[in-house]
Structures are given as C-alpha cells and as structure tokens.
C-alpha cells in the first residue's frame, strides 16, 4: 500500500470507533496508519524544504497531526489488547510417576498469533502504559508545527525513565553528603587524590639514594593515615618492612571496623576503607617488585 492510499484508508474509520476494534482489526489499522504517517512526515519535510506556500504547509501539517493522533490511539489500543492476550502455557513433562518440568506447547508465540513482530508488540504495550507521555507529545507537536509519532513517544518515555533514574541517584548522593561533614568529605577527597596519583607499581630497579627518598615519603603517607593504624600496622614503619611483614588484609578488617565505628558514619567508613585499601595495595606492590 502506498502512502496516499494509506492516508485515504485512515479517513474511513472515525477516531471514536478505534477502541471498539478487535485485535486483528486494530493491528491491521495500525500498520496502515504507520505507512500513512511515515508518508506525511516525509511530505511535510519536503514542503518545508522547498518553502512552498504556507497554506499548502498548513494543509499537510493539519492532516499529518490528525493521522498521527489516530495512529497513536490505535497503537495504544493494540497494546492494551496485547497485554490481555495470554501467553501459550508450556506443557508439563512427566516421566513415570513424577513431574519432570515442562516443554513448549507447540503453539506460536503471542506476537505471531497477533500478527506482528515481537518488538512492535512491546512498543505498542509501552505506548499503552504511558498515556500522559502520548498526550505530551501530541501537545508538543501542535505547538511546534510537527507530526506526533510513535518514535517521539518512545524517545520521551526513555528520557523520562533516565531522568527519574538520575534523580534517584542524585538524591542518594545528596543523602550521603548530608551524613558526612565538610571536613570529612575533604579528607576522603584527599585520599582519593593520593590513590589516583600514586603509580600502581614502583620502578623495578632502585639506586640507594632513590630508595632512601622513597622510604621517607612512604613513611609520611603511612604516618598520616594514623586513624587506620590497626589496618596498616602490618606494613611496618618503613617500605623496607613490606617485604617481611605482608599479611592478609582480611585479618585486620574487623579491627578497622571497630576503630572507625566510633567516629564515622557507615557510608564514610566504607569509603575510607575502600580508598585506604587502594593506597595500601599500591604500596605493597613493592614486595612483588623487590622494592
């Protein structure tokens, strides 16, 4: 069916009778509507591009907007009917006297019984579940001299879901920030910077002077992490002690948690332990590299 023929076919059924259609009638009408609206969207683009008379553009736009609304209403109706259609129940499998699971019924999948691709069925159900978005897209199209389409509705639904997801994530982050004081946040930020700056592995070979300087700096870092003394005491007072004092980190985690529970919130404890672990792991690479 060509675009012009599809446009004529849409005029045969009033908008008010769409919800009285059976699933077969609605699916067929939806497919016709898709051809018509696709044709009208392309036609409107050509009219705007060629800068034809505004009267001609208004005619194309008005007809396209009307057919766009019909298509969205039909799509939503298909989605509602598809949601009510039951899936083919699997058949039970019995061996002997026991029950041993199920097997496919042999019936075609729901979307095939309804006469449309699975993706198209899911999209129709999504449109049906979001009438407020459909209304918003139609109003936006009218204000901006455009044709409302299923693609625009689905895009708006995805945008709203992503917006809601970000809002929840920001709310969670904000709650965490409120539980931690400014000075605590500043301290954690500094720990993160140290973890990012400190190379994951030290040089493989060292001069005597370089090794001495590195030990001094490492001792400074260890000393300033005094609040985690029970967690990092096995590192020893110098880099040289790493080789002989390396023990499993897990052994010291209970002690760390007891130490931190007194002055830090749960979220802060997790953050500090995670950051300190990263720093410690970077330091103990010296054992592997014969530091």
Stretch 195-210: mean pLDDT = 81
Helix (H, G, I), strand (E, B), or coil: what is residue 183?
helix
Helix (H, G, I), strand (E, B), or coil: what is residue 100?
strand
Q: Are 66 and 44 in contact (CB under 8 A)?
A: no
Give the pLDDT of residue 49: 83
Q: For residue range 15-39, what is the model confidence (pLDDT) as tens digits?
A: 888 989 999 999 999 999 999 999 9
Paired tokens of 57: 């553009």
What does the alpha-carbon distance between residue 205 and residue 169 come to, in Å, rounded to a whole number? 45
Give the pLDDT of residue 204: 79
Maximum C-alpha span of the chain: 92
| pLDDT for 177 beyond 70 | no
Q: Which domain holds residue 112?
A: 3-86+108-166
Indicate whether 148 and 278 sit together in one domain.
no
What does the alpha-carbon distance between residue 111 and residue 87 come to, in Å, rounded to a whole number? 9
Indicate whether 126 and 187 sit together in one domain.
no
Indicate whether 131 and 192 sit together in one domain.
no
| pLDDT for 280 beyond 90 | no
Domain boundary among 133, 166, 199: 166
Instruction: Provide the percentage of residues in the chain whose pLDDT is more than 70.
Output: 68
| pLDDT for 234 beyond 60 | no
Give the pLDDT of residue 245: 40
Domain for residue 91, yes or no? no
Question: Cα separations (Å) of 146 from 10, 42, 57, 137, 238?
Answer: 19, 11, 11, 10, 71
Indicate whether 75 and 186 sit together in one domain.
no
Q: For residue range 127-158, what is the model confidence (pLDDT) as tens digits?
A: 999 999 999 999 999 999 999 999 999 999 99
Q: Are 78 and 23 in contact (CB under 8 A)?
A: yes
Domain for residue 176, yes or no? no
Q: For residue range 68-125, what is the model confidence (pLDDT) as tens digits?
A: 999 999 999 999 999 988 877 776 766 665 556 666 667 788 888 888 899 999 999 9
Higher-confidence residue of 191 and 95: namely 191
Indicate whether 278 and 140 sit together in one domain.
no
Give the pLDDT of residue 184: 78
Give the pLDDT of residue 77: 94
**Number of structural domains the chain divides into:** 2
Indicate whether 158 and 258 sit together in one domain.
no
Give the pLDDT of residue 265: 64
Give the pLDDT of residue 238: 38
- Indicate whether this model's pTM tops 0.95: no
Indicate whether 35 and 148 sit together in one domain.
yes
Give the pLDDT of residue 269: 63
Stretch 205-233: mean pLDDT = 75
- If one counts every other C-beta atom within 10 angstroms of the C-beta of residue 73, the result is 21
Alpha-carbon dihedral angle through residues 243, 245, 250, 252, given to the nearest 10 degrees: -150
Lowest mean pLDDT of 38-42, 73-77, 169-173, name the range: 169-173
What does the alpha-carbon distance between residue 78 and residue 27 come to, in Å, rounded to a whole number? 6
Higher-confidence residue of 184 and 240: namely 184
Helix (H, G, I), strand (E, B), or coil: what is residue 9?
helix
**With 0-12 CB in 10 A as exposed, 13-18 as middle and 19+ as buried, what is 117?**
exposed
Task: Please state at what angle helix 54-84 crosses helix 118-128, rounded to 10 degrees.
Answer: 100
Indicate whether 258 and 123 sit together in one domain.
no
Indicate whether 41 and 162 sit together in one domain.
yes
User: Residue 256: pLDDT band by 50, 70, 90 thresholds?
Assistant: low
Rounded CA Rg of the chain: 33
Domain for residue 241, yes or no? yes
């Amino acid at each position: 069916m060509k675009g012009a023929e599809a446009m004529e076919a849409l005029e045969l059924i009033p908008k008010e009778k769409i919800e009285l259609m059976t699933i077969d009638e609605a699916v067929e009408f939806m497919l016709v509507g898709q051809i018509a609206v696709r044709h009208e969207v392309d036609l409107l683009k050509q009219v705007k591009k060629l800068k034809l008379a505004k009267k001609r553009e208004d005619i194309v736009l008005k007809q396209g907007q009307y057919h766009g609304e019909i298509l969205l209403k039909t799509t939503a109706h298909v989605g509602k009917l598809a949601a009510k259609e039951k899936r083919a129940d699997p058949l039970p499998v019995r061996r002997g006297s026991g029950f041993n699971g199920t097997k496919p019924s042999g019936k075609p999948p729901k979307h095939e019984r309804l006469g449309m691709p699975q993706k198209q069925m899911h999209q129709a159900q999504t449109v049906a579940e979001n009438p407020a978005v459909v209304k918003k897209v139609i109003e936006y199209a009218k204000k901006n001299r455009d044709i409302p389409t299923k693609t625009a509705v689905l895009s708006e639904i995805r945008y709203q879901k992503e917006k809601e997801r970000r809002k929840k994530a920001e709310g969670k982050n904000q709650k965490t920030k409120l539980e931690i004081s400014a000075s605590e946040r500043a301290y954690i930020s500094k720990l993160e910077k140290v973890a990012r700056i400190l190379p994951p592995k030290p040089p493989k070979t060292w001069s005597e002077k370089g090794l001495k300087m590195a030990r001094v700096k490492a001792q400074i870092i260890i000393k300033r992490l005094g609040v985690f003394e029970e967690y990092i005491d096995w590192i020893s007072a110098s880099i040289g002690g790493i080789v002989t004092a390396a023990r499993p980190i897990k052994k010291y985690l209970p002690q760390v948690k007891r130490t931190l529970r007194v002055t830090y919130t749960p979220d802060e404890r997790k953050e500090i332990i995670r950051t300190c672990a990263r720093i410690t792991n970077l330091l103990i690479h010296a054992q592997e590299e014969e530091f």
